[in-house]
Structure 1
């Protein structure tokens, strides 16, 4: 049986971000028959512009990103909250993955959104906004596969997410939920 492939998009560019740590922990927790891989180059995508998104001459970074999304069985988005919404780098990635209209790599792709933020709600506004944008972009949003970790700066000040039993349990459930939905046909 071929492995299930899940592409992980991290909405924070900061190397030591708690959301990157959550993503890395999810990768570590993947079952043997599942491959989770963090996309390493969201920052390389130019701002989406239809004038440069031309068939046969789109930016190479956009072609690589679209190919990675297309090759994955599912996508896991791990994002913080920036000023009450999603980071620009994540919105830009969604825009690139939503084109070309009708045959975009996000079309009917199962996608879950999770993350952590400093505030008391753990970034739920950003997570809701990401789900909204992904749904409009054509993804099959997994509204029931969620995880929002509040108080990230305090909670993870001296503890890595992989060492937090509650977080590990929640991440396992997220990975299991994404994998099970990746194998299920769209309803």
Structure 2
């Protein structure tokens, strides 16, 4: 069997983002794979811009990477009780690409946030945003990484035994869907 291709979408563009670190840790716990993190630094979606210039090349490239991936992992922060604008904007743009980018694609979602709930509300909303795309979203275990700025050691690995166990289980389940 070839090495699985795992593609990550982080809802945060911030350098040192705990959502990006959570995706890197998920890829590590997934095991042997080719992992790529998406560049979601897209322009804001505007139908007039799309009509005038078409779908930007960066969006087409990310959509193609999703299609080529064996599985996708997504991590979202929680901003005001919802996923980040970066992530929602990316999903809106990707939906404008011709063809079925997400159809049946194995997807694992997770969240990392400063609050006690670890982004639970944003993850719930993200799951509903994904419904029209018809991916195969794993239902659990759900990873809501609370107090995320203190959740990683100096090597970027998760500190909490419970989080490591649940993220490992989620990644093993994702591997089985490939």
Both structures adopt the same fold (TM-score exceeding 0.5): yes
Q: Is the 8 A contact 1:98 1:138 kept in 2?
A: no
Could you tell me which runs of 5 or more consecutive residues in structure 2 were left unpaired when the two chains were aligned.
none
Go from structure 1 to structure 2 and tell me whether the alpha carbon gap of 1:64 and 1:17 turns closer, same or farther (over 3 Å shift).
same
Query: What is the aligned counterpart of 1:139 among 127, 135, 139?
Result: 135
CA displacement 1:108-156 (0-9 Å, x = unmatched): 2221210211111110100011110011233222222421111223445
Could you tell me which runs of 5 or more consecutive residues in structure 1 were left unpaired when the two chains were aligned.
none
Residue 42 (structure 1) aligned with residue 13 (structure 2)? no
Task: Please give the residue correspondences for 1:33-182 in structure 2 after superposition, counting only pairs within 5 Å.
Answer: 34-39=33-38, 41-43=39-41, 45-53=42-50, 57-100=54-97, 103-156=99-152, 162-166=157-161, 167-181=163-177
Q: Is the 8 A contact 2:151 2:160 kept in 1?
A: no
Q: Is the 8 A contact 1:116 1:152 kept in 2?
A: yes
Q: Is the 8 A contact 1:114 1:146 kept in 2?
A: yes
TM-score using structure 1 length: 0.82
**Residue-pair matches, total:** 176
CA displacement 1:19-58 (0-9 Å, x = unmatched): 12111222333322x323211x101x1223344446x942
The alpha carbon displacement at 1:100 in A equals: 4.2
Q: Is the 8 A contact 1:30 1:36 kept in 2?
A: no
TM-score using structure 2 length: 0.86
Structure 2 distance, partners of 1:142, 1:99, is 24
Give structure 1 regions of 4+ aligned residues with deviation exceeding 3 angstroms.
Answer: 49-54, 153-156, 158-161
| RMSD, aligned α-carbons | 2.3
